[in-house]
Amino acid sequence: DAKTTQPPSMDCAEGRAANLPCNHSTISGNEYVYWYRQIHSQGPQYIIHGLKNNETNEMASLIITEDRKSSTLILPHATLRDTAVYYCIVRVAPYTGTASKLTFGTGTRLQVTL
């Protein structure tokens, strides 16, 4: 699975959009981008995933560059409850028949403030 690079920490004011970047310059054609977050001392929670098109759900939006070498997770109106560590992961599509590992890096610690 391709390696990802994220900034170790970011701050965001409550009510503002939080834009979390992720670099995955070695991503290959059959790898998807996934985002999870982990609130302190809990299990990680899935947020969103995508291949090459931008994606949006009730939690966030995912913007993937045309060359797929980087992506941005957008929380449109951050709240204090969004304070967490956010992990960007690239993962081989499960149905390739190869082992479907899910490998986490160190993530970005997002602090939402009043």
Partner 1 sequence: DGGITQSPKYLFRKEGQNVTLSCEQNLNHDAMYWYRQDPGQGLRLIYYSQIVNDFQKGDIAEGYSVSREKKESFPLTVTSAQKNPTAFYLCASSMWPGGHTEAFFGQGTRLTVV
Chain positions contacting partner 1, by CB under 8 A: 32, 34, 36, 41-46, 49, 85, 87, 93-95, 97, 99-107
- In the complex, the smallest distance separating the C-beta of residue 57 from partner 1, rounded to whole angstroms, is 11
CB of 107 to partner 1, least distance (A): 6
Token pair listed for 33: 């981008």
Judging by DSSP bridges, how do beta strands 31-38 and 84-92 pair with one another? antiparallel
Please state the length of the chain: 114
Cβ 114 to partner 1 shortest distance, Å: 25
Query: Is the CB of 107 or the CB of 110 nearer to partner 1?
Result: 107
Looking at beta carbons only, is 35 or 70 nearer to partner 1? 35
What is the token pair recorded at 54?
């931008």
Least spacing, CB of residue 24 vs partner 1, in Å: 15
CA–CA separation, 1 and 26 (whole Å): 9
Mention every residue, 6+ apart, whose C-beta is less than 8 A from residue 22: 4, 5, 6, 33, 35, 70, 71, 72, 73, 88
Q: Cβ closer to partner 1: 43 or 114? A: 43
